[in-house]
Structure 1
Amino acid sequence: MSAASRTPLPAAVAVAAALLLSACSSGGTSGGGGDINFILGKDGISTVEKGKRDPAPDLSGKTIDDQQLSVSSFKGKVVVLNVWGSWCAPCRAEAPNFEKVSTDLKSKGVQFVGINVADAKVTSAQAFEKSYGVSYPSLYDPSSKLMLRFKKGTLNLQAIPSTLVLDRDGKIAARSLAALSEDKLRSMIAPVLAEK
């Protein structure tokens, strides 16, 4: 094999690496198009007025611990959905914040649920949760099929981590397409939790 025929491989590896890094972004406001009533705040968190919210799609399946889980079973609670991957540096950075806020707000009717994406081996996801002490369940979605159930414009497949807050009726009330600090996460949940 000549040197000329081998040069496309490093270029292909570089493109693949760039795509992987862009899929694990710590920023971005693109929601994938579509008009779904999100209003982007100065803090990067988008919200939807109570009467204009869309219901979350059916999110059910096996967790990374091989248990059956349906997000709709948490209706009546405020649900925080966090899309993450063990390979994602911003996901690792925000994991302690999510665990702390989840623990603090559980008794107030807030349920956290993770959606683990693009981890080919469930053991990678399990090691991540063990390493960060994550106590709430995570659906295992290695091929991102659950993410594709969301209405166009709700989530961006390249924006990992992403977080959604569902109101007590299971409707999408808030969204962040970037990693969240503890303060930003609390400020994202608080208005939805305060709703009657």
Structure 2
Amino acid sequence: MRYSLRGRPAGAPRPRGRLLGVLLGAVVLAGCSTGSSAVDVNNGGQFRFVAGTPAGEVIPEAERAAAPDFSGTLLGGGDFTSTELAGDVAVLNFWGSWCPPCRVETPQFQEVYADVRDRGVAFLGLNVKETSEQFAQAFVDSEGIEFPSLYDPRGEVALAFRDYPANAIPSTIVLDRDGRVAAVYTGEVAQEDLRAVLDLLLGEEG
């Protein structure tokens, strides 16, 4: 199961290429609302349970679009801006402690992060729709997660990425060194798939 976020502002850039068609098609075919599980967000969209976990793939370099700029407050305090990711391959993971697949996936992300953080790869969690920051911090502490997470209870950063079919919980967006969206995963990511994508991006000429 995963949770999706609906809504898109006019004039936002649209990703192109095979990946968008594959993932959007899978979401349309697999999507189903559970009604009472929906939670309203600021712009009138909503998180909802949907079935299916489409696989991600690398978007060809010529078809990549720049990721939107974003900023926020980190769990535990401190400001963060997306400019801090400049020059690195970056893994953005949207998660919540209330999301069962996230509780499985996030510790696996820590394993990958420990192996690649010295190779020019940054990880950033984006914690959404928590009823309390304490719940998110308790999960991070209990699992020994070392990479930072933004506390984004209203899903505002997720909304900034709404043109990508990764506006789901859990979901993962991978940026190349130029800050462009290079891969999108909706649903839980297999650790071997993430490692393969990172190896490909690290092998690209920067």
Corresponding residue for residue 68 of structure 1: 79
* Structure 2 unaligned regions, length at least 5: 1-33, 40-46
Aligned counterpart in structure 1 of residue 158 of structure 2, from 147, 153, 165: 147
Q: Deviations over 1:88-141 (max 9, x none)?
A: 010011112100100100110000000001112111110111111110111111
CA-CA distance at 1:148 after TM superposition:
1.0
The residue aligned with 1:137 is 148
Counterparts of 2:166 and 2:62 in 1: how far apart (Å)?
24
Conserved 8 A contact 1:61-1:140: yes
Name 2:175's counterpart in structure 1.
Answer: 166
- Distance change in 2, residues 1:89/1:164 (3 Å): same
Number of aligned residues: 165
Give the alignment's TM-score, normalised by structure 1: 0.78
Match of 2:193 among 173, 180, 184: 184
- Aligned residue in 2 for 1:86: 97
CA deviation vs aligned residue, 1:28-71 (integer Å, no higher than 9, x gap)? 44xxxxxxxxxxxxxx1133111211111112110111110112
How far apart in 1 are the matches of 2:51 and 2:106? 13
Change (3 A) 1:26 1:68: farther
Where does structure 1 lack aligned partners over 5 or more consecutive residues?
Answer: 1-13, 30-43
The alignment-based identity, stated in percent, is: 38
* Equivalent position of 2:134 in the other structure: 123
What code does the residue aligned with 2:120 have? G
CA separation in 1, counterparts of 2:89 and 2:52?
25
Q: Amino acid of the residue matched to residue 194 of structure 1? A: G
- Asked whether the equivalents of residues 81 and 164 of structure 1 are also in contact (C-alpha less than 8 Å), the reply is yes
Distance in 1 between the 2:141 and 2:69 partners? 27
Q: Which has the higher helix share?
A: 1
Amino acid at match of 2:71: S
**Which position in structure 2 is the counterpart of 1:45?**
56
* C-alpha contact 1:25 1:90 (8 A) present in aligned 2: no
1:151 to partner: Cα distance: 5.1
| Aligned equivalents of 1:102, 1:163: Cα separation in 2 | 14
Structure 1 contact 84–162 (Cα < 8 Å) conserved:
yes
SS at match of 2:202: helix
| Pair 1:62–1:118, CA change in 2 (3 A) | same
* Separation in 2, partners of 1:169, 1:54: 10
Once the two structures are TM-superposed, the CA of residue 150 in structure 1 deviates from its matched residue by 1.9
Whether the aligned pair in 1 keeps the contact of 2:92 and 2:124 (CA below 8 Å) is yes
Which of these two proteins has the greater Rg computed from alpha carbons?
1
Q: Secondary structure at the match of 2:169?
A: coil
Name the TM-score, length of structure 2 as normaliser: 0.74
SS of 1:46's equivalent in the other structure is: coil
